[in-house]
C-alpha cells in the first residue's frame, strides 16, 4: 500500500481525499494533510489530521515511510511548487500534482487528473483562456497561411488556427520531415480541414510570389526564421538573407496580393540587440512598419518558449538522461519563458486586435534563472542536483546576453485592454535609414563580407 500525504487541505485536496475514501480498492494509505497555513495545523479535516507544513515531508519519510506527496494547491505559484518538489527530491519521495485551476475545465479535482509535475508548473504562469467564439468569427471564411509551419511555434499556431475552422489553411516550410509530420497529424486530428502543405524556401522570391498569388491568403502568420544566436553570429550573412530578405519577400507579396493582416513573429532578442539574429529580427519589425497600409502589418515579440526545438529544456533533458553533466553558460543567466500553447494563443490574439503598425509584446512574467530551471528539471527527473547529476558552467557564448529585455529603453509601452499583451508603436530603429541601406545589406550578405555586414547591421540600431 502506497503511503501518501496530500499537500493542500483546501477544496482540491479534500476532493482527492474523498475520492480515495470512497473506493475501498484504492491502494492508498493517507497519512494526513500538509499545509502551509499554520492556523489549521493539528486540526482534522474529513477525519484526517493536518500534520504541519512542508518541513514535515522529511520527518514523514523517516517516521512513516512516506512514498508520495500529492500536491493539491492548483492556485499555487511556481516558487511554492518548486520548494515542495525540492524537499521531496532531497528525501527521495515521489510527487504528483493536481492540474492548475484553469486546466481543470469544470468540476472537482479527480485522482485521474493527477499528473507528473511539469517544468511549466514551476514557472507559476496562469493558463490563458481564449475567447473561442470571437476567434471562430475571426477565421470563418478566411484563407490562412502559416510560414515556418513545421517549427515549434509554427506547428502550434497551425494546430490552434485549424481548431477554429478557417475556410482553408496553407502550411509553408522548407523542412520536409517536419512538414510531413505536421501533415500526418493534421489529417488525423482535422480530417475535414481544407489544407495545403507547401515545401519552399522563403529566400526563393519566385516561389513565394507564385504561391502567394495562387493561395490569395486573407491572413499570414509569419513564424519562419533562423533563431539560434551563436550559429547566426558565425553566419550573419545567412541571418540577413533569411530573416530579412526572406521575410521581405513575403511582405511584398502580401501587399501585392492584398492580404488583410500579416502577423510577424519576433523575439525579445530584438530589444537592444547585441547579436546578428536579434538585429535581423528588429529589422523585420521595421519592415512591417514600413509596409503597413492597406495590408495591416503587426509584429509580436516574446521571449523563450518552453520545450521549443533546440531550446534549453530539451538540451537539459537529454543531458539528464545521459547521467549529466548539465551545462549552463553562466550562473547569473536569466531568461523569460512561456509555454508554446500560450505563445501561440497570444500571437493569434494579437492578429485579432491589431489595427496595423503595432509592436505587440507578450507579458512573459518574471525572468527565470537558468540555474533554477536546471535544478528543478533534475529534481523532476528524480535526482539531486550536484549529487546525482552535476552542473557545470561553460562560459557565455558569442552574442549571448546574461539577461534579456522585452523593450528597449526608448519604447513607450501601454498595457492592452486584453491583458497579457503590451503594445508600443516605437521600434528602436531608424526606419528612413533602414530603407536606404537595404540594398547595401543585401550586397554584403550575398558576397559573404561578414565583418562589413556586421558593422552595417550595428549601424542601423
Q: Name which residue leads in pLDDT, 287 or 410.
A: 287
442, three cell numbers: 543585401
Lowest mean pLDDT among 27-31, 53-57, 140-144, 411-415: 411-415
Which pLDDT belongs to residue 137? 93
Helix (H) or strand (E) holding 421: strand 421-424
In this predicted model, what pLDDT tens digit does every residue of 336-353 receive, in sequence order? 777 777 788 889 988 999
pLDDT exceeds 80 at position 329 = yes
Which one of 142, 227, 241, 269 is the catalytic residue? 269
Which pLDDT belongs to residue 310? 58
Which pLDDT belongs to residue 361? 84
Which pLDDT belongs to residue 167? 97
Which pLDDT belongs to residue 30? 95
Pairing state between β 359-362 and 296-301:
parallel
Closest Cα to residue 220, out of 140, 291, 149, 293?
149
Instruction: Judge residue 299's burial from the number of C-beta atoms within 10 Å of its C-beta, 0-12 exposed, 13-18 middle, 19 or more buried.
Output: buried
Which pLDDT belongs to residue 425? 66
Rounded average pLDDT over 29-54: 95
Alpha carbon distances (Å) from 322 to 27, 314, 351, 386: 33, 12, 42, 15
pLDDT exceeds 90 at position 41 = yes
pLDDT exceeds 70 at position 405 = no
The answer to whether 269 is a known catalytic residue is yes
Which pLDDT belongs to residue 107? 45
Q: What is the DSSP letter of 121?
A: G
pLDDT exceeds 50 at position 104 = no
Rounded average pLDDT over 88-107: 71
Alpha-carbon span 366 to 371, nearest angstrom: 15
In this predicted model, what pLDDT tens digit does every residue of 227-263 receive, in sequence order? 888 899 999 999 999 999 999 999 999 999 999 999 9
Alpha-carbon span 28 to 19, nearest angstrom: 11
Q: Is residue 321 classed as helix, strand or coil in its secondary structure?
A: helix
310, three cell numbers: 533546440
pLDDT exceeds 60 at position 35 = yes
Share of the chain above pLDDT 70, in %: 89
Domains of the chain, earliest start first: 2-117 (3.40.50.720), 132-433 (3.40.50.720)
| Whole-number average pLDDT of the chain | 87
Please give the model's pTM, rounded to 2 decimal places.
0.72
Lowest mean pLDDT among 5-19, 54-68, 405-419: 405-419
Helix (H) or strand (E) holding 282: helix 276-290
Amino acid at each position: 500500500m502506497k503511503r501518501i500525504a496530500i499537500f493542500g487541505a483546501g477544496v482540491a485536496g479534500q476532493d482527492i481525499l474523498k475520492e480515495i475514501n470512497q473506493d475501498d480498492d484504492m491502494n492508498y494509505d493517507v497519512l494526513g494533510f500538509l499545509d502551509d497555513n499554520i492556523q489549521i495545523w493539528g486540526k482534522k479535516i474529513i477525519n484526517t489530521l493536518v500534520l504541519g507544513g512542508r518541513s514535515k515531508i522529511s520527518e514523514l519519510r523517516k517516521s512513516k515511510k512516506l512514498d508520495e506527496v500529492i500536491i493539491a494547491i492548483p492556485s499555487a505559484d511556481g516558487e511554492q511548487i518548486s520548494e515542495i518538489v525540492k524537499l521531496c527530491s532531497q528525501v527521495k519521495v515521489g510527487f504528483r500534482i493536481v492540474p492548475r485551476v484553469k486546466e481543470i475545465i469544470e468540476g472537482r479535482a479527480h485522482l485521474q487528473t493527477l499528473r507528473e509535475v511539469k517544468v511549466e508548473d514551476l514557472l507559476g504562469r496562469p493558463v490563458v483562456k481564449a475567447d473561442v467564439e470571437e476567434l471562430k468569427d475571426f477565421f470563418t471564411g478566411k484563407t490562412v497561411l502559416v510560414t515556418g509551419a513545421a517549427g515549434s511555434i509554427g506547428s502550434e499556431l497551425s494546430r490552434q488556427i485549424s481548431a477554429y475552422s478557417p475556410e482553408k489553411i496553407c502550411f509553408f516550410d522548407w523542412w520536409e520531415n517536419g512538414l510531413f509530420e505536421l501533415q500526418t497529424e493534421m489529417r488525423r486530428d482535422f480530417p475535414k480541414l481544407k489544407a495545403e502543405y507547401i515545401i519552399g524556401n522563403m529566400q526563393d522570391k519566385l516561389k513565394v510570389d507564385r504561391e502567394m498569388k495562387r493561395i490569395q491568403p486573407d491572413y499570414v502568420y509569419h513564424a519562419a526564421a533562423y533563431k539560434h544566436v551563436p550559429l547566426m553570429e558565425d553566419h550573419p550573412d545567412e541571418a540577413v538573407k533569411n530573416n530579412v530578405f526572406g521575410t521581405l519577400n513575403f511582405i511584398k507579396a502580401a501587399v501585392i496580393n492584398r492580404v488583410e493582416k500579416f502577423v510577424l513573429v519576433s523575439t525579445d532578442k530584438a530589444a537592444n540587440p547585441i547579436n546578428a539574429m536579434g538585429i535581423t529580427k528588429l529589422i523585420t519589425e521595421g519592415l512591417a512598419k514600413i509596409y503597413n497600409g492597406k495590408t495591416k502589418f503587426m509584429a509580436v515579440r516574446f521571449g523563450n518558449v518552453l520545450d521549443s526545438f533546440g531550446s534549453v529544456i530539451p538540451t537539459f533533458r537529454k543531458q539528464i538522461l545521459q547521467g549529466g553533466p548539465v551545462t549552463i553558460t553562466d550562473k547569473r543567466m536569466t531568461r523569460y519563458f512561456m509555454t508554446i500553447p500560450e505563445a501561440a494563443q497570444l500571437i493569434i490574439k494579437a492578429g485579432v486586435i491589431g489595427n496595423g503598425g503595432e509592436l505587440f509584446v507578450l507579458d512573459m512574467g518574471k525572468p527565470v534563472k537558468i540555474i533554477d530551471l536546471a535544478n528543478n528539471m533534475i529534481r523532476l527527473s528524480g535526482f539531486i542536483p550536484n549529487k546525482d547529476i552535476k552542473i557545470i558552467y561553460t562560459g557565455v557564448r558569442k552574442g549571448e546576453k546574461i539577461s534579456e529585455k522585452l523593450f528597449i529603453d526608448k519604447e513607450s509601452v501601454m498595457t492592452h485592454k486584453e491583458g497579457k499583451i503590451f503594445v508600443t508603436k516605437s521600434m528602436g530603429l531608424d526606419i528612413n535609414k533602414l530603407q536606404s541601406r537595404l540594398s547595401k545589406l543585401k550586397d554584403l550578405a550575398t558576397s559573404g563580407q561578414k565583418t562589413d555586414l556586421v558593422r552595417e547591421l550595428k549601424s542601423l540600431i
